[in-house]
A and B are shown apart, each in its own frame.
Chain A
Amino acid sequence: MPKISCPLSTTSDPVMDFFSKVQILRSENRPYAIATVIEVLGSASARTSSKAIFDQDGVNLLGWVGGGCAERFIGEEAVQAIREGKTRIVLADLDDEIFGLGVACGGKMRVFIDPILPAEVMMLPQTDQFHNEIRSLGGFYGWNIQEDLKLDPPQSIEDLLLLMATTAADKRDVTAKSLREIKKVPATFKTVNSQPYLKEVTIVGRTRITEALARHFTLLNYSVRVVGPDLKSENYPTNVKCHCLEDSYEHIDFHKGEVVVIAGHTAQDPLLVEKALNQKASHVAMIGSLKRSHEVLNHLKLMNQEVTLPLYIPAGLDLNAKNPDEIALSVISEVILEKRKSE
């Protein structure tokens, strides 16, 4: 009697398989798109949360979002999403046999398509002194770092960070100027840094951005304090002082001369900015949108005024930052430049 091997794998886990495939594609630096069914109306071949991975030719590499015509349609949309580098939400009409997809399931499916492009190539100088920092930061930024022997190596960590910021800005064809200038914040900024910059920073918030900021300031040997609710100290470098807030932010005090970065994205932000300025911080930056900058200016009664305070809203340089670590790079680069101007 021949043995029949069991067709079912005892270790199969579709979720693990899915993310393993994503990891493999990432390591191969290939573009792909993840299609996720986010809504089903009536009858459809897939369910909400069904996912599939498509390559740049629209071929389904793993997963299920429907068969036949639905899969072909979503594959074609995935090709476009990858080509444009933009997400899209598409409606798969599985009801209209003429102008829908031609299958008569009797329903519709809304599908979110998210293209994942290969890591951006960034050319940086070869340097033994900062090799580890470049590789580590490049990993956080999601860059594909290539060495250019023609470039002069940076002389300091500050120079390295500024170089990485300008490299990103050049690659993306953006200005690397201050965001408060680019976004046309309605005030005239003539920053007069009356306080010398101390190598101390207080970061307010509890998000991935605060973690990234803490990493970057630690690289520059700043004394770093993070203040926010539910902070997990294991997410921060060991020398960072984590001050877990039990209640409101009004009990936070700032030190004269320190750098303050408000990254809380809360209603308290304008009050914290005001307090940091009153307590003579050397540099007060708030991460946020143009609209949030308006809120701060209104709160401080500085709308359309000449501002001579060390106020940086929105914080950072124009790098077209794509993730929390690039946002941190943008913010710390602005701090470095302003500190150098004040010296």
Chain B
Amino acid sequence: MNQEEARKILIEHSRSVKNGIFPESITHDSKITNPICGDHVELKIACDQNEIKKIGFKAVACAICTASTSLLCKEVEGLTTDKALELAGTFETSVLEPQSCAWPVELSRLQCFEHLRVNPSRKACALLPWVALKKAFMRPV
């Protein structure tokens, strides 16, 4: 995926209309803030027997963080909590790897973040919502 294609996807998701829309009954939630830049992410999740039925978010954050949150929600909805956490681990590892490493096939829908490998200071922006996801599943509401 070239940089312009990545940019288009990230801009689209940074302006997601789903920002601020939450499911009605939630089983897990979390809030996280990066104190250095002020990026703030909230996740509210409705699980049923370990399957993520619905997930909503609110992100008051930079474009990358907001886009990452929106894409996270799109990816994990319908997954089991274990699969979602596994995806979070793979995503974190991949973003932090050097440019020379191939982007994993299982993260092809998140390949727009591959371009962040050249800009270490934006990696924290992309990873913040995935940390929020892990935090949400530490204990139910």
Q: A residues engaging B (CB < 8 A)?
A: 68-69, 71-73, 76, 97-99, 101-103
Q: Is the C-beta of B100 less than 8 angstroms from some C-beta in chain A? A: no
A102 and B125: CB pair below 8 A?
yes
Report the separation of the CA atoms of residues A101 and B124 in the bound assembly, to the nearest whole angstrom.
11
A99 and B37: CB pair below 8 A?
no
| Stretch from B3-11, B16-24, B40-48, B49-57 that touches the partner | B3-11
B121 and A101: CB pair below 8 A?
yes
Q: Is the C-beta of B93 less than 8 angstroms from some C-beta in chain A? A: no
Interface size on B, residues (CB 8 A): 19
Chain B, Cβ-Cβ closest to A74? B121
B121 and A68: CB pair below 8 A?
no
Report the separation of the CA atoms of residues A117 and B121 in the bound assembly, to the nearest whole angstrom.
24
Q: Which residues of A are found within 8 Å of B122, using beta-carbon distances? A: 99, 101-102
Q: B residues engaging A (CB < 8 A)?
A: 3, 7, 10-11, 14, 36-38, 62-65, 115, 119-122, 124-125
B36 and A68: CB pair below 8 A?
yes
A103 and B3: CB pair below 8 A?
no
How many contacts between A and B, using CB within 8 angstroms? 39
B7 and A102: CB pair below 8 A?
no
> Whole-angstrom distance from the CB of B120 to the nearest CB of chain A?
6
Q: Which residues of A are found within 8 Å of B36, using beta-carbon distances? A: 68-69, 71-72
A103 and B120: CB pair below 8 A?
no
> Whole-angstrom distance from the CB of A193 to the nearest CB of chain B?
56
Chain B, Cβ-Cβ closest to A71? B36
**Could you write out 14 A-B pairs with CB less than 8 Å apart?**
A68-B37, A69-B36, A69-B37, A71-B36, A76-B121, A98-B7, A98-B10, A98-B11, A98-B14, A98-B63, A102-B37, A102-B64, A102-B65, A102-B125
Sample of 17 further A-B pairs with CB below 8 A, known A72-B36, A98-B7, A98-B11: A68-B36, A69-B37, A69-B62, A71-B36, A72-B121, A72-B124, A73-B121, A76-B121, A98-B63, A98-B64, A99-B7, A99-B122, A101-B121, A101-B122, A102-B62, A102-B63, A102-B65
> Whole-angstrom distance from the CB of A62 to the nearest CB of chain B?
17
> Whole-angstrom distance from the CB of A132 to the nearest CB of chain B?
48
Q: Which residues of A are found within 8 Å of B37, using beta-carbon distances? A: 68-69, 72, 102
A69 and B7: CB pair below 8 A?
no
> Whole-angstrom distance from the CB of B13 to the nearest CB of chain A?
11
Q: Which residues of B are found within 8 Å of A69, using beta-carbon distances? A: 36-37, 62, 121
Chain A, Cβ-Cβ closest to B11? A98
> Whole-angstrom distance from the CB of B115 to the nearest CB of chain A?
7
Q: Which residues of A are found within 8 Å of B120, using beta-carbon distances? A: 76
Q: Which residues of B are found within 8 Å of A99, using beta-carbon distances? A: 3, 7, 115, 119, 122
